[in-house]
A and B are shown apart, each in its own frame.
Chain A
Amino acid sequence: MFSRDFEKRLITSWNEGAERLYGWTREEAIGKMPRELLSSEYPMPLEQIEDELRLHGRWEGDIVQRRKDGTPLVVRGRWGLQLDTEGRPSAILEINSDITKQRSSEALLESIEERFGLFVSAVVDYAIFMLDPNGIVTTWNIGAERIKGYTADDIIGRHFSVFYTPEDLADGKPVRALETAKREGRFLDEGWRMRKDGSRFWASVVITALRGSDGSLKGFGKVTRDITDRHRHEEELVAHAEEIDALERAKTQFLDLAAHELRGPLTLIRGYNSMLVSGGLPPERISQIAKILEGRLAQVDLLVEQMLEMARLEDRRFELQLEVFDLREVARDEVAKFQPVAIRHQLVMEDGSASGIVRADRSRVSTIVGNLLDNAIKYSPAGGEIRCSVGTAGSMRFVTVADHGLGIEAAHMPLLFKRFSRLPTEENKIIHGTGLALYLCQEIAHRLRGDIRVASTPQRGSEFTLRLPAYEAAA
């Protein structure tokens, strides 16, 4: 506290407090101008302050000054005007208290708040916004605009339930979310949310209850992230894992089936061989038995060939041997081959007059036609006519095998060409098979730029058609 002359602005008194605050002694200070002694920076021109004092008798304001040692300080000045006996201003009493510490922490706080606000509003990857205690949106950042498609003008003042899907709304989810946040402090969720344009995104959401120091609810802070890509990726991974799992199970099942398929022929070979060794076999039966064994060995051969073919396909060791040939020849040969096996069936070959010239892998096409005939016989246990025909459809040539057998239910169609899959029918418990043949046939047909198509009526029969591109002889 010190006083100074009103007109001359020279210090006339200087107390201990002033000595302590500024470091100048009474002797040093008296007679000096405060502005020079203390390097005062007033918040307004000094003349204006003096006018204020003349008018109201007092002035308050913050002044930046320097101590004797040069360190800056901020003081809160509470000045009063002293009048002489005639009522004219004679002196100013300056009571200046140090508010340096207070000011700097206030300033820091202000700047942190300001910067934090800037940071939140500039975050692009997260929607960060606040809700009032009723769920009305009160703030909005650029991330929220980007993720949800609403501008601040669109959304501030509206209820946050607009972000939820109709299903979640019907289920009362937004209300529950706030209730949970209120009760437990926060609410965590992942799920579909709606953008302004009605499209959906997979969101990761945190809602935090904001409470004052007295514990009263001030509102909610909400942070939302768009993790649609990650979600899709996770779903793909899960689907892929399930697929691999299913394939593993199918492979195990196939090994079971294959073992069972091999045990039949093994039983006969071992049994007849033991009889050959012990001489228990009537000599006149030997040639007939040899034929039976040959047939069974052909089955084993077929199964082993299927297993090898599958391994080649999986290993990418698969090579086609392309040549030009007539599908009619292949079909005729295969029908002739199956004629002796088809005891209860009438195998009919319909050559047609159209050419069936294709360029393909002849032995594999034979295998496919053979498999189609084998299936037709196997899956029509009651017998009947099996018709094999060759024909032309546009740029494709085809072989069709039609039976009057069990047929295939529409629901089972998707399983038909799947690896290792056998149709879950009552009949298939008795009819042997590994669930490989049709899968392999279709795979090979695709590699020959053709396909296998099916038409079937349950209990009426099935029609399998192998289609291959026609061969046009180059000039």
Chain B
Amino acid sequence: MTSLRHVLLVDDDPAMSEMYRLGLEHHGFRVSILADATDLNDAVAAEPPDVLVLDWDLPGVTGDRALERLRLTDHGRRLPVFMLSNFPGTRNGAIDRTFAAGALAWLEKVNTTPALLATKIDEALDLPKS
């Protein structure tokens, strides 16, 4: 079943990533998980996902900074990315940096059920590619 669309989920809370993994798998995605963004570029290069879902509040490097770095790599340049976080990103400009780095949306976890995330990813992947 390698034709399943591949979602890479980065979240340091195992309970969170497990919930979204179960939900996305139920909607027909293949999901891989990273607990932090340290090895994000390598992981994307090794097995390029169709969509990246990033938590912002990560150990070591925050989601927006990780995304900025990813955009400098071949595999990361055009990757559709969702920021998924309960962190109030307006407070420190994280939201602005996230959109500047080309994320599709900043989703609040508390308002994003796994089913909603699946819908968002579906929509993003059905967008005509330029």
Contacts and interface: CB of A to CB of B under 8 A. Distances in A.
A binds B: yes
B18 to A, nearest CB: 8
A297 interface: no
Given A271-B23, A275-B26, A285-B22, A280 B115 contact: yes
Contacts of B13: 264
B23 A256 contact: no
Contacts of A268: 15-16, 19
A270 B113 contact: yes
A262 to B, nearest CB: 9
B88 A260 contact: yes
A48 interface: no
Interface in B31-78: 57-59
Nearest to B59: A430
A8 B87 CA distance: 122
A340 interface: no
Given A268-B16, A280-B23, A256 B88 contact: yes
Given A281-B22, A292-B15, A430-B59, A271 B86 contact: no
A363 interface: no
Interface in A270-304: 270-272, 274-275, 278, 280-282, 285, 289, 292, 296
B19 A271 contact: yes
B110 interface: yes
Contacts of A292: 15, 18
A296 B86 contact: no
Nearest to B58: A430
A344 to B, nearest CB: 13
A267 B109 contact: yes
A125 B1 CA distance: 96
A342 B82 CA distance: 32
B23 A270 contact: no
A423 interface: no
B59 A271 contact: no
B80 interface: no
Given A256-B88, A275-B114, A430-B57, A282 B109 contact: no
A267 B11 CA distance: 13
B99 interface: no
A274 B110 contact: no
A96 to B, nearest CB: 99
Nearest to A259: B88
B23 A263 contact: no
A266 interface: yes
A274 B113 contact: yes
Nearest to B116: A274
A263 B109 contact: yes
Contact of B110 (A256, A266, A289, A296): A266
Contacts of A282: 22
Given A263-B109, A268-B15, A268-B16, A278 B115 contact: yes
A274 B114 contact: yes
Nearest to A432: B57
Interface string B93-130: 00000000000000001101111000000000000000
A405 to B, nearest CB: 15
A75 to B, nearest CB: 95
B22 A263 contact: no
Given A281-B22, A282-B22, A285-B22, A271 B114 contact: yes
Contacts of B18: 292
Closest 8 pairs between A and B when the two form their complex, measured CB to CB? A280-B26, A274-B113, A263-B86, A267-B109, A263-B110, A267-B110, A430-B59, A271-B19
Interface of B: 12-13, 15-16, 18-20, 22-23, 26-27, 57-59, 86-88, 109-110, 112-115
19 contacts: A256-B88, A263-B109, A263-B110, A264-B16, A264-B109, A271-B19, A271-B112, A271-B113, A271-B114, A274-B113, A274-B114, A274-B115, A275-B22, A275-B23, A275-B113, A275-B114, A278-B115, A289-B19, A430-B58
Given A280-B114, A430-B59, 19 more contacts: A260-B87, A263-B110, A264-B13, A267-B112, A268-B15, A268-B16, A268-B19, A271-B19, A271-B112, A271-B113, A271-B114, A275-B26, A280-B23, A281-B22, A282-B22, A292-B15, A430-B12, A430-B57, A430-B58
